[in-house]
Chain A
Amino acid sequence: MSTQKTSITFSRRSFMKTSSLAGGGLLIGFNLFNACKPNAKPAIDLAQLNYNDFNAFIQIADNGAVTIFSPNPEIGQGVKTSMPMIIAEELDVAWKDVYVKQGILDTNNYTRQVAGGSQSIRFGWDPLRETGATARQMLINAAAVKWGVDPSECTTNEGIISNAAGETLGYGEVVNEAAALEIPEEVTLKDVKDYKIIGTDAANVDIDKIITGEPLFGLDYKTEGMVIASVMRPPAFGQKLESYDDSASKAIDGVIEVLKFGDKIAVLAKDTWSAMKGKKALKAEWKTDSKLESSEDHDKLMLGLLNGNKFETLRADGNVKKAFEQADQVLERTYESPFLPHNCLEPMNFYANVTAEKIHLVGPIQTPEGTAKHIAEMLERNFEEVHLEMTRMGGGFGRRLYGDFAVEAAEISNLARKPVKVVFSRDDDMADGIYRPAIKYRIKAAVKDGKVTGYHLKEAAINSNMYGLIPNFFPAGAIENYQVDVAKYQSNITTGAWRAPYTNFLAFAEQSFFDELAEMMEVDKIQLRLDLLQKVKGSTDERIQYSPERMEKVIKKAVEKSGWGTKPEGVYQGFVNYYCHNSHVAEVADVVLENGNPVVKKITCVVDCGIVINPLGALNQIEGGVIDGVGHSMYGDFTFQNGVPQATNFDKYRLIRMKEAPIVETHLMKNEFSPTGLGEPTLPPAGGAIANAFKAATGKRLYKQPFSKYPELLKGPEKEIIG
């Protein structure tokens, strides 16, 4: 990893096009997602491009007003604010003068539309800056022509162009001329030290609408004649529909019709309550189609996998077997995690209106294009007939990557030939989920002559294993003999991505293990981590994902800021450093004992995510990620009995609330590295930090999540369920 150059000249223009606006002004279109690809090439002949081929725009009116259309799905990660900030910086306009609009999300008109995931800022950094700078250069060029001077003699400041003679022109005064100019071949980007918007606090662009309750979310969307569908799905994974009786359901006021589709039954009603009531009144018989699995079975199966030899090796350095044979000391521990539902507070929902002419889809979705294609194929229709609009999302956490709810809406609307909105109840949302898979890790380390000589990580997971980059995270490269092996069990329970997939539990396992390893070796816990990092410095192994230098700085800052080792008696601390999602993080948990129970009071969080675009939004993501990590490692528990989820609402599934939320003190590393994502990387370390602090407080090491499963440790908080 090298330091970001402060000034870059781009020459790649292929994703951009400009034109005049009918009512006066300049429109710059660019294809963000195409531009984000490392080797972007225009998909079609450039000369044939029209504005429908772009998915993001800058519009500058002849009165100087700037509108930036953001193409990206907003799930609470703040990109609708931060991505336009990057454009505005290079365009050199005042942020207060910028109006941000959600781009019309429509796969019929805008091609190559893909949800950015947690990589939006990282991949958007260069193209967004380049686009803003290009627009600025075109405005300068237009002013220079008017004045008869060389563009290099002109400067800009907040929408005003000046020349050497002291004359000025506003962007709005040259915008029509600029629209007629060629796109410049090269533009120069600002130096980091000259930033006026990047690095300053900007409020959420939707704040006014959010706090006044304006319709923003999928659940708020409605059209004339729309009906609500409440869907009954098999109550257990492994079951199919045998028969059903809808007579009681049809007798309910407001129920319009009852439809069977596949193994599901949809109750269509005039309003949500009638639909939900209609579903409750359905009587259905289910037959077992495949194994009805229970969490106890999964535990045995995964332990069997860990004890067996059917692994796929993802990375192997040196010879771990030999390292263990020659070791003075060996430590082996097993860590266990449950399934987790996402529990977006806005339950899954989607609107579909399938007619002979087109398929109109509206709702909260992270993968509009894939979902639209799937629906077109399912209904044997042309993709061009699908028109999809995205709403703001009441949380995502990975759940809205999967378009199952939109597919259901389209199926039902196609059968009923009505505009339909599928609405999940909370029970549906929790019981018909696509869960974080349960995973177990076994970690074994060899120590010889006071050094860690071997490290063997084994993963046993339901349905899917860690993705390929994770074996190259810390401590890869730091230990001579190092191996990562994975195995999985194929279940009929649906699983998928959940905020910070795999690392959301792996961080706890590995960082608890390092603490215990230091205890066994009788060395300082921080020093052990720093010593390991020394070996990675100067490494030529290009697979290594993290930077030992950046990690070391983060660790040292966390030691300093958390008052590590200097706390008064009664405050117990736990330490974690972690790399994931391209960011380096260290967290220190402060735990005290109240009536003998450990209570997390504070988390000090140090983050190196490179340049921070919007500190106000960044801190929100960091605090949320940390508290989400604390909450799920403390309370998140989700089990199955004969294929049936054992919790379906917040009476049996506990989410963290205000009283359990610790203070989060955040420190951002100041540097000029290109920015990386913040939606996920602060969540994984939190569980490990509190587990290590609990050990310091109580002497007890935790190996299973949630920690509330250790009743002797956590008597107090359990009693505080809220009504």
Chain B
Amino acid sequence: MPTYQLNINGESRSIEVSEDTPVLWVLRDHLNLVGTKYGCGIALCGSCTIHLDGIAVRSCALTMAQVEGKSITTIEGLSEDGNHPVQEAWKEVDVPQCGYCQTGQIMTASAFLKENPNPTEAEIKDAMQGNICRCASYTRIYKAVEIAANKLA
């Protein structure tokens, strides 16, 4: 099995896995970073969203070869104490119901707001459209992204 050098949450990690292992399962099973969730395995639900060089990507559909040499951020590395403006907005609005999708939602929102700190309603909805919340907490997710945008602006 090949060995990969990864940069995850600012740390350099060496991992030996089969080359077809999606990054999601490397994070969850090999590195014990379980904040990144499995939902569908085909990049359609957004639960597994991480940042790759600052851009939101679906880790379930990424191979190790695609991320080698790049910088990966997971929810565990988004902030020191859960105090990223997006996380704070999530607390302020009290978004979660079951909570399972929320780390993926937060990772999508934080990457989006970095690119676009003054989004319109349509831009927020476009950005968040790929993340399913089965409990349908969409009105609160929207509100939290809006509040986070104000915090970041």
Contact = CB atoms under 8 A, between A and B. Distances in A.
A631 interface: yes
Contacts of B125: 658-659
Contacts of A118: none
Given A219-B38, A623-B137, A658-B125, A211 B82 contact: yes
B138 A271 contact: no
Interface centre among A397, A627, A663 (most CB of B within 10 A): A627
B136 interface: yes
A31 B99 CA distance: 28
A271 B140 contact: no
Nearest to B122: A659
A623 B41 contact: no
Contacts of A661: 136, 138-139
A206 B131 CA distance: 21
Given A76-B98, A77-B97, A628-B136, A212 B76 contact: yes
B137 A213 contact: no
Contact of B28 (A77, A272, A657, A663): A272
Interface stretch (A303-311, A343-351, A481-489, A527-535): A343-351
Contacts of B18: 253-254, 273-274
A208 B106 CA distance: 13
Contacts of A228: 29
A651 B136 contact: no
The prevalent SS among residues of A at the interface is: loop
Contacts of B68: none
A511 B144 CA distance: 34
A203 B94 CA distance: 6
Interface residues of B, number: 58
Contact of B134 (A207, A211, A344, A617): A344
Given A203-B94, A206-B99, A345-B134, A213 B40 contact: no
A74 to B, nearest CB: 8
A450 interface: no
A394 B99 contact: yes
A220 B36 CA distance: 10
Nearest to B58: A723
A523 interface: no
Contacts of B137: 620, 623-624
Interface centre among B36, B40, B45, B131 (most CB of A within 10 A): B40
Interface string B41-80: 1111101000000000000000000000000001110000
Interface string B111-153: 0000000000000011011111111111111100000000000
B96 A207 contact: yes
B13 interface: no
A207 B42 CA distance: 28
Interface string B78-109: 00001000010011001011111111001000
B51 to A, nearest CB: 13
B136 A624 contact: yes
Contacts of A343: 134
A75 B38 CA distance: 17
A395 interface: yes
Contacts of B42: 426, 649-651
B37 A210 contact: no
B98 A75 contact: yes
B96 A210 contact: yes
A222 B33 CA distance: 12
Contacts of B130: 657, 722-723
A234 interface: no
A664 interface: yes
Contacts of B126: 659
Interface string A334-366: 000000000111110000000000000000000
Contacts of A201: 94
A211 B90 contact: yes
A658 B130 CA distance: 9
B101 A213 contact: no
A570 interface: no
A207 B91 contact: yes
Given A217-B100, A426-B40, A657-B132, A212 B94 contact: no
A421 to B, nearest CB: 11
B72 to A, nearest CB: 14
B103 A650 contact: no
A650 B97 contact: no
B36 A213 contact: yes
A594 to B, nearest CB: 13
A684 B26 CA distance: 41
Contacts of A224: none
Contacts of A204: 94, 96, 99
B60 to A, nearest CB: 10
A219 B37 contact: yes
Interface centre among A75, A78, A273 (most CB of B within 10 A): A273
Given A426-B41, A723-B44, A213 B103 contact: yes
Given A207-B90, A213-B76, A655-B134, 18 more contacts: A203-B94, A204-B96, A211-B102, A212-B35, A212-B82, A253-B18, A272-B38, A274-B18, A277-B20, A344-B134, A395-B98, A395-B134, A620-B137, A623-B139, A625-B136, A628-B135, A649-B44, A658-B128
12 contacts: A206-B96, A212-B87, A277-B20, A345-B45, A394-B99, A395-B135, A623-B139, A625-B136, A626-B136, A650-B40, A655-B134, A661-B139
Interface of B: 1, 18, 20-22, 25, 28-30, 32-45, 47, 74-76, 82, 87, 90-91, 94, 96-103, 106, 125-126, 128-142
